[in-house]
Structure 1
Amino acid sequence: MDSSWVVIANYQYSSEAQIFKGRLEAEGIQVHLQDEYTIDTDPLMSHAIGGVKLKVRKEDKDFAFEILEKMPKYSLTNDGEKVHCPNCNSTQIHYFTTIQDLKSFLAFLGSWLVAALPFYTAYEYRCDKCNTTFKKL
């Protein structure tokens, strides 16, 4: 890629980056994802290579930032409502994977090999204010 593209955001997974890419493309902004396929192949590499990089053309950078600022930064329910922390009732909640070591990755991989869909789902919510982690809404 030439230098007319700039990184405006990094995401741990390509599925997350695709959401923001789609929003920017809906506004007519050309978008490129870097390292998307590398992380799809080996999700544990995400931290090592800096995640999926969302790139836009230099001339679209300011407009792209405006659009990204308007998008919700925290988790929502399937009905579009904010998720609340059971401890402090904050709505600053992130949804994240707990597959962060070899043991949890092998459990995920093993369940994937046995069935079409994994039995082992390793996701939790974490509150930014009180750092409480919880699984259910």
Structure 2
Amino acid sequence: MKDTFTTIARYNYSSEAEIIKGRLETEGIKVFLKDNITIDTDPLVSNAIGGIKLNVLAKDAAQARIILDSIPSHTLDNDGNTLVCPNCKSQQISLYSTINSFKSFFHFVIGIIFGTLPFSARYEYKCDSCGTHIDAKY
């Protein structure tokens, strides 16, 4: 049982997973990433397959979770300041792509028809705790 891997985190992008993988490996924890090549090949399937799974040996899972919990998970603006939700004061802010104009909708439709990535994308910050949209420059 100690030689089996267990999933301790999931990421949408391989760059995030690789950074955390490196951090855990510096602590002597063996790490295996699952589905990273699939998502690197087609990033649009990330949500469909549950993201990139960060797996560690079952015997190292508790230590790995402690290390993950010690890494701050907050969003910074362009000036390096932590974004805080004006509604609930949470620091759990994420950047989401959105379709909020005719131009972004048109590019989305063209991307679907021709199987390409969108020509342009609009992004917005949203609080993960209460769902408030946050006006910030990115």
Normalising by structure 1, what TM-score?
A: 0.73
Q: Which runs of 5+ in 2 are unaligned?
A: 100-104
Q: Which runs of 5+ in 1 are unaligned?
A: 112-119
Residue number in structure 1 paired with 2:102 = none
Matches within 5 A, 1:27-66: 27-66=27-66
Residue number in structure 1 paired with 2:76 = 76
- Contact kept, 8 Å, 2:126 with 2:133, in 1: the verdict is yes
How far the C-alpha of 1:62 sits from its partner, in A, is 0.7
String of CA shifts for 1:23-66, please: whole Å, max 9, x gaps. Answer: 21221211111100101111121122111000111121110000
Look at both structures and tell me which one has the larger radius of gyration over its CA atoms: 2
Counting matched residue pairs gives 126
Q: Percent identity?
A: 48
1:19 is paired with a residue whose SS is helix
RMSD: 2.9
Normalising by structure 2, what TM-score?
A: 0.72
Distance 1:23 1:105 in 2: 39
Matches within 5 A, 1:1-137: 4-77=4-77, 80-85=80-85, 89-98=89-98, 103=108, 106=111, 109=117, 111=119, 120-134=120-134, 136-137=136-137
